[in-house]
Structure 1
Amino acid sequence: MLCGMDEEQVYSRHADGSAGDADYGVIGASYAHYRQPDPYIAEFILKALGEAKTVLNVGAGAGSYEPVDRDVTAVEPSASMRSQRAAGLPAAIDATAERLPFADNSFDASMATFTVHQWSDLKAGLREMRRVSRGPVLILSCDPAELERSWLYEYAPEMIAVEARRYPATDVVKAALGGTTEVLTVPIPLHCIDGFSEAYYGRPECLLDPGARLANSAWSFTNQGIIERFVNKLTRDLNDGTWDSRYGKYRSQAFFEGSLRLIIARA
């Protein structure tokens, strides 16, 4: 079934503590294996953090993109995701974006990567990030208006529709954060190791792996029949050369400018 998220819709927490629409106790067991922080993308985040020494990571998951040279405080409601954090990372606090347990201006900066589409109340969560941050607030997300640029739109339009309904519009995020905002298009490298959908723009075979699909929560809201159709069509088109005749240029294209955006808001 298709599942969209209204800005004001509130979700109850799942058994493992997941606070959004996706239950990471069910789909997140191998998340850290497929969703590694990509060094190229990480450079955009580090540059935007500037001289910030204390950083809050909201919806921190398994710890992707947390800078190791800063004092990081992580917030993550899902027990499954907290358990996958690497040994060298700080333990994450069990809390949600909408109710951050910190005083005003507690951190030099705050960040949230691939998480705002999960929040039950987007505007409340962004206001909380702004409240506790003295400096910049960084949001790494996807622009729903640009998702149809991927070849996936031909093969799984229903999944792309799920993504587009869940990701908040860039202008909505900017308005909620206030202050001076900058939006950067983040090109996706060919061998991106952070396995969101567009990361496989030049490696379509990867999306035949059920684990790779499951690490992108939109697939969990897609009807099983649609998924089977996707797998059958992609397998057939890879075997007979149809995919390569249409999209083969992506196999050697160093970067793909898709929907990935870094929103930087300064007070």
Structure 2
Amino acid sequence: MDASAAGPGPLTATYDRIGVGYRDVRRADPRLAALIDQALGGARTVVNVGAGAGSYEPAGREVTAVDPSQVMLDQHPGARKVLAGAERLPFADGAFDAAMAVMTVHHWPDLRRGLAELRRVSRRQVLFTYDPYHRPELWLLTEYLPEIGAFERARFTPLATVVAAMDAHTVLPFPIPHDFTDGFQSAYWRRPELFLDPDVRRANSTFAQLPAAVVEPAIERMRADLASGAWHRRHADLLALDAVDYGYRLLVAGG
């Protein structure tokens, strides 16, 4: 199947605009993929809600991808693709052994309704998300773009609220490795030069939705700090670390 009567959600326009080339930058990291696969347990059928281009979908299982953006689904290699929003999943109760949602709940217009839909259509729910109130924050937010922090606190629900809403029985921290392959914002905590690449920024929804008048001066300050060595002097401690906990968590609910 490739479409749904439920239709796309309000994020369609956003990801139809910023989603082109997304798959080139947002490449699934095998360490996170293994954690998600383990959390799915013995599930044979899985619905991936907010699937995007299909990152982290486990091999060897029957996966149905759901996303409100046709541009994203066009980049998805799978055969089972449904154009729909999380709040109105066009499936029967208990249709899947498990539901998964990776770095997507902050985009859902109605988080509680979306989580209720995951629980309605599946026996087990696996969700990967981020706590915007976790400390330490990524240096990008504190030194160059505090607007990102404000934007994320406005759209990400506090982790404790998500845990309670989905009735999660497991909360696993996921420190971000220094060579993480999935180009979301914190992936480059030890590789600041990659933020200078406009393709990297376009594949990050926060960057893509901030005005150029805000982003470009900050990037130029970063460029100057990298050229002078100021960034490396400030963050010599980070350069010695293999991973940092920036508040990313894997939540598991259900049986």
Q: Give TM-score, length-normalised by structure 2.
A: 0.92
Higher mean displacement: 151-160 or 194-203: 151-160
Give distance in 2, aligned partners of 1:243 and 1:192: 20
Higher mean displacement: 72-81 or 158-167: 158-167
What residue in structure 2 maps to residue 68 of structure 1? 59
Give distance in 2, aligned partners of 1:204 and 1:118: 26
2:47/2:99 contact within 8 Å kept: yes
Give distance in 2, aligned partners of 1:147 and 1:17: 35
Which residue among 56, 61, 74 is the counterpart of 1:83?
74
Which residue among 36, 49, 59 is the counterpart of 1:45?
36
Which residue among 204, 211, 214 is the counterpart of 1:216?
204
Map 1:1-267 → 2, pairs under 5 A: 17=8, 19-20=10-11, 23-86=14-77, 89-134=78-123, 136-146=124-134, 149-153=137-141, 154-178=143-167, 180-266=168-254
Residue identity opposite 1:62 in structure 2: A
Aligned pair count? 248
SS in 2 for 1:248: coil
2:100/2:125 contact within 8 Å kept: yes
Give distance in 2, aligned partners of 1:61 and 1:145: 25
Residue identity opposite 1:65 in structure 2: Y
Residue identity opposite 1:149 in structure 2: E
2:11/2:69 contact within 8 Å kept: no
Give distance in 1, aligned partners of 2:112 and 2:126: 15
2:185/2:204 contact within 8 Å kept: yes
SS in 2 for 1:103: coil
CA drift at 1:175: 2.1
Give distance in 1, aligned partners of 2:194 and 2:31: 20
Give distance in 2, aligned partners of 1:137 and 1:243: 40
Gaps of 5+ in 2: 1-6
CA drift at 1:63: 0.1
Closer, same or farther: CA 223–252 of 1 in aligned 2, 3 Å: same
Closer, same or farther: CA 208–80 of 1 in aligned 2, 3 Å: same
What residue in structure 2 maps to residue 6 of structure 1? none
SS in 2 for 1:97: coil
Give distance in 1, aligned partners of 2:156 and 2:90: 25
Gaps of 5+ in 1: 1-15
CA drift at 1:237: 0.4
Residue identity opposite 2:252 in structure 1: I
CA drift at 1:263: 1.1
2:8/2:84 contact within 8 Å kept: no
1:190/1:252 contact within 8 Å kept: no
Closer, same or farther: CA 70–42 of 1 in aligned 2, 3 Å: same
Q: Give TM-score, length-normalised by structure 1.
A: 0.88
SS in 1 for 2:134: helix
The Cα RMSD (Å) is: 1.7
Give distance in 1, aligned partners of 2:212 and 2:105: 25
CA drift at 1:19: 2.8
